């Protein structure tokens, strides 16, 4: 699954997904 698909699935922005990855949450 790529970031844009994950973002759509969870109702968050791609920017948020990037921040989560930077924090090690994903």
**Model-level pTM?**
0.58
Dist CA 24 CA 19 (whole Å) = 9
The half-sphere exposure of 12 on its side-chain side, counting CA atoms within 13 A, is 11
Tens of pLDDT, residues 1-26: 788 999 999 999 999 999 999 999 87
Per DSSP, the residues of the chain read --HHHHHHHHT--HHHHHHHHHHT--
The predicted pLDDT at position 25 comes to 86
Under 8 Å CB-to-CB from 16, ≥6 apart: which residues? 7
What are the residue boundaries of the structural domains of the chain, listed by start?
1-26
């Amino acid at each position: 699954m790529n970031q844009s698909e994950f973002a759509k699935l969870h109702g968050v922005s791609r920017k948020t997904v990037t921040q989560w990855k930077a924090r090690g949450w994903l």
